[in-house]
Chains A and B, each alone.
Chain A
Amino acid sequence: MGKIRYRRAFVKENIEVCRDLYHLYLEVDMKNVEPGHFIMVWIPELEEVPMAPSLYRDGVMRITYKVVGETTKYMSGLSIGDEIFVRGPLGKPFDLSMNGRYLLIGGGVGAAPLIYAAHRLAEKNYSFTYVEGVPNKGYKMFIQEAISMGGEAILYTEDGSEGFSGLPTDYLRDNINDYDMVLACGPEAFNKAVYELCRDSKVNCQISMERIVKCGVGVCGSCVIEETGLLVCLDGPVFSVSMLREKGYDC
């Protein structure tokens, strides 16, 4: 019923990390939301937008979001005690069943579901490296959090203001053979680069894809991954590289 019914979510905190980047903490009952799932966040009279939580623990969901339109602009003005509405979880989450060495690689706000995955991996005592790529050091999101869980954490900044200069895909290119499973999420160009690197190697890889999700239940077709016939909302948002390849993502 959570897929279809809205729940009230109360704002506990809404922290500005950097310009237009926020962590929103919501008190909401959604125990079955896993890393990689998405939820629909509904602001009545504005719009409903898809978001992948960056954590859910003890009845509190964290949503890490960038201000990109009027709905996220509105979200940035939320204060403690305000209520919004959510439905979910929707889609298929990351498969974290394999016991092996994980590489988590996030581009920008795409890092959100990956840090949530890192929490799950840490609980299972699986080893992971968390790599975050951001425009500059001000946008650093989860590096400390990954370290505090006992994982290895590596920062890439586009302007070289902290950590390595460049993109997280540079790390993937050089170290791909050290891992059994890659989890990735970022903008389309980032995902495509990850796809190509992992396709050409033997490593297993799951990518969380982004498209415009409207209905969230597999009927409107707006979130299709062109050429493949795959729907982000129903078949994904997490896809294995082998699935994407089989369905023609190469084209």
Chain B
Amino acid sequence: MSRANLEVELSGVKLRNPLILASGFVDDDPSLLLRAWKAGFGALTTKSLTPKPREGYKPPIIAFTKAGYLNAVGLANPGIESLPHLLSKLPEEAKVIVSLAGSTPEDFRYSSEKADKAKVDIIELNLSCPHVKGMGMDIIHDISYSLEVIESVVSTSSKPVFVKLGLTDTYLSLVSRALDKGVSGFTIMNTVRAMAIDIESLKPVLSNVFGGLSGPAIHPIAVRMVYEVYSEFSIPIIGVGGVDDWTDVIEFIAAGASGVGIGSYLFLRSVEKIDVLLKGVEKFMVDRGFSSISEIRGIAIKR
């Protein structure tokens, strides 16, 4: 089979392909990150790191639904101080996105200053975790507070800053104002607050009751948001949400994404299985005569 060029550029950062390990998936140990890099990802996103380590919730932390998965891990993470250790096994050429979570502009500034000194390519602000009070959707629903958080990081960081959006009615307004503050791009989207009840026990499955819905159920919503943001602003976007096969990757790119996050695809699959996605994307490009990803990016947008 002849080959297509899968390289993409994300705010000046060159990736070998558009697939990005989404935050929160097999990413809290140096050997796991190394394994994911060797599996072929274009970039890796760390777990959302907070200024101090967090325990997270008790199991069950996941639940399965007909068209997706719920998780309520509770932002369990080893804390921002662990970042150099987390990245310690990765080779020089590995591309890393550090995801940061917190409650206040000071939390985010503190963590981003640490991230700035680490071998990190992009800083992603997780302002949209749907299941931790005061640390996620509570921020993104408040546009002026979100902008305070964004400004506290952008004003001091030397790295490109992405904001991870959740499902809100006002995200286009936030995107526009965040760009004015100097944000480089957006990760679209986070999971959607949801729950599952087990009918054997007639109880909520998740120990936290509520969690974030991911998987095929949210994919069309994420595609819509990527499409809307790209068609209005033509900026770097990482599309995340329910990628289940290679066609979903193409769909995100056609909607305007430069990178595509892979998360729930990894339920009951080892990271090496992303090879199936990469091969599918490449075959599609060869079959259809596309020589680069940029030829497909935003191609579906009606002008």
Contacts and interface: CB of A to CB of B under 8 A. Distances in A.
For chain A, the bracket of interface size reads: 20 to 34
A215 interface: yes
Given A42-B60, A221-B26, A221-B28, 18 more contacts: A6-B198, A44-B198, A47-B59, A48-B60, A48-B207, A216-B59, A217-B268, A218-B26, A219-B62, A220-B24, A221-B29, A221-B47, A222-B76, A224-B32, A228-B31, A231-B32, A234-B268, A234-B270
Nearest to A229: B35
B240 to A, nearest CB: 14
A235 B270 contact: yes
Residue of A4, A8, A216 contacting most chain B CB atoms (<10 Å): A4
A6 B200 contact: yes
A3 B268 contact: yes
Interface of B: 24-29, 31-32, 34-35, 47, 58-62, 64, 71, 73, 76, 198, 200-201, 203, 205, 207, 263-264, 266-270
Nearest to B39: A229
A9 B228 CA distance: 49
A227 B263 CA distance: 22
Contacts of A85: 198, 200-201
Interface in A1-52: 3-8, 40, 42, 44-49
Contact of B200 (A7, A222, A226): A7
A6 B205 CA distance: 9
A134 to B, nearest CB: 28
Chain B facing A: main interface SS: loop
Contacts, number: 96
Given A219-B62, A231-B26, A44 B201 contact: yes
A74 to B, nearest CB: 13
Given A6-B201, A224-B32, A226-B31, A218 B266 contact: yes
A248 interface: yes
B25 A221 contact: yes
B27 A49 contact: no
A235 B31 CA distance: 14
A248 B31 CA distance: 10
Contacts of B203: 44-45
A227 B88 CA distance: 11
Contacts of B269: 218
Name the 9 nearest CB pairs between A and B, nearest first.
Answer: A229-B35, A4-B64, A229-B31, A48-B59, A44-B203, A221-B26, A224-B29, A48-B60, A215-B62
A214 interface: yes
Given A45-B203, A221-B26, A5 B31 contact: no
A231 B34 CA distance: 13
Given A224-B32, A227-B31, A248-B31, A217 B267 contact: yes
Contacts of B200: 5-8, 85
28 contacts: A6-B200, A6-B201, A42-B201, A45-B203, A47-B207, A85-B198, A214-B59, A214-B61, A215-B61, A218-B26, A218-B267, A218-B270, A219-B26, A219-B62, A219-B71, A219-B264, A220-B61, A221-B27, A221-B32, A224-B26, A224-B29, A224-B31, A226-B31, A229-B29, A229-B35, A231-B32, A234-B268, A235-B270
